[in-house]
Amino acid sequence: MKAKRNNLCPCGSGMKYKKCCMDKGNKEGGDLKAEYLKKYGIKLKNEIDIAGIRKAGVLAVKTLELVEPYLKPGTKTDYINQIVHDFTIKNNAVPAPLNYRGYPKSVCISINEEICHGIPGDHELKDGDIVNIDVTPILNGYYADTSKTYFVGTPSREAKKIVSVSRESLKSGLEMIMPGNTTGDIGWAIQKYAESQGCSVVREFVGHGLGFGFHEPPQVPHYGNRRKGIELVPGMVFTIEPMINLGVKDLYILDDKWTAVTQDGALSAQFEQTVVVTEDGYESLTPYDLDKLFFP
């Protein structure tokens, strides 16, 4: 039956159609899935999809836990790549980074002034480094993306500061996730917090939808304005992954065509989780405790 202005809204809100879904240009009164696909190219996920991404997310978090003990002075980054690769395969999953747009390895490892997309190789970790490990397994066709920044050996005061601010920045973004808020609200909260600490927010890389693919709409900037961007609705799955710099926000890309480094050579850190918007907030599909981190 076709919805009429003065009848109850078919979405089940109990309000009149004209006061509810009619204004959202939502003719079916509740078919958000079709609307979000058409307007934004966003594929909302159902319970089966979410369960699949959650499984990939558990594997991603286990992978981070597995490599943690190896993040010591003298470890070659290629060795960490090997551990991530083998563990992913052993769990019947595929490492999404490998051969993604020509990326040559199975994990991104970004050290100190490297912002993201560092390529594992012969380089050895050394005392005082901060190192981000970013893993994305594909399990039964579902993607989950997560990263953490770790201390190698004894951290400097600056290392402690940037790791703490980037971790708290992710928390600020997560707190904004609920139906009715927007992607702009997330970016706004992150930028406000990071800049209040005298740090800067990278603009060139953003959070992203994912689940059926590595990078889907929407983009989720880690800066911006309240009420701007796309309204969050249940079933949206995306990452938040603020890259926070101790100095300037600007970057350049190394000759390897991948590694992004800070323009001024100052430290950069990042934490990333994959989330799904729920009826009353969000659930992390790559759940690790952002409060219970080793702090020397």
Of the pair 215, 226, the CB lying nearest ligand MF3 is at 215
Identity of the residue, 145 or 168, whose beta carbon is nearer to ligand MF3 in the bound complex: 145
**Chosen from Co ion, ligand MF3, none, partner binding at 97 (C-beta under 5 to 8 Å by type):** ligand MF3
Q: How far is the CB of 41 from ligand MF3 (least distance, A)?
A: 17
CA distance 56 to 35: 27
**How many Cα atoms occupy the beta-carbon half-sphere of 31 within 13 Å?**
10
Q: Please compute Rg for the chain using Cα positions.
A: 20
Total chain residues near ligand MF3 (CB under 6 A):
11
The reply to whether 241 sits near ligand MF3 by the rule CB under 6 A is: yes
Which residue, 113 or 272, has its beta carbon nearer to ligand MF3?
272
Contact call for residue 212 and ligand MF3 (CB under 6 A): no
Round to whole Å and give the CA distance between 25 and 181. 18
Q: Can residue 114 be called a binding residue for ligand MF3 (CB under 6 A)?
A: no
From candidates 40, 103, 212, 288, binder to ligand MF3 by CB under 6 A: 103
Q: How far is the CB of 16 from Co ion (least distance, A)?
A: 41
Which amino acid is present at 164?
Answer: S
Q: Angle at CA 146, nearest 5°, toward 145 and 149?
A: 150
CA 257 to chain centre: 22
- Tokens 């959202």 sit on residue: 24
Interface with ligand MF3, residue 43, by CB under 6 A: no
Toward Co ion, which CB reaches closer, 200 or 239? 239
Candidate list 63, 81, 88, 136; residue touching ligand MF3; CB under 6 A:
136
* Three-state DSSP class for residue 169: helix
Q: Which does 100 bind (CB under 5 to 8 A by kind): Co ion, ligand MF3, none?
A: ligand MF3
Annotate 233-253 with b (16+ C-beta within 10 A) or e (fewer).
bbbbbbbbbbbbbbbebebee
Q: Which is nearer to Co ion, 10 or 229 (CB)?
A: 229
CA gap 15, 8 in Å, rounded: 6
Name the residue nearer to ligand MF3 (CB basis): 21 or 206.
Answer: 206
Dihedral of alpha carbons 97, 103, 104, 108, sign: negative
- Side chain identity at residue 41, one-letter code: G
In a 3-state reduction of DSSP, which class is residue 269?
strand
CA distances from 92 to 62, 88, 89, 100, 137 (A): 14, 7, 5, 18, 10
Question: What is the residue whose two structure tokens read 């201390």?
Answer: 151
Query: In the bound complex, what is the minimum distance in angstroms from residue 204's beta carbon to ligand MF3?
Result: 12
Does 61 bind ligand MF3 (CB under 6 A)? Our answer is no
- Can you give the binding site for Co ion, defined by CB under 5 A? 134, 145, 239, 241, 272
Q: Which of residues 113 and 134 has its CB atom nearest to ligand MF3 in the complex?
A: 134
- By CB under 6 A, what part of segment 141-160 binds ligand MF3? 145
Residue 97 near ligand MF3 by CB under 6 A: yes
Residues near ligand MF3 (CB under 6 A): 97, 100-101, 103, 108, 117, 134, 136, 145, 241, 272
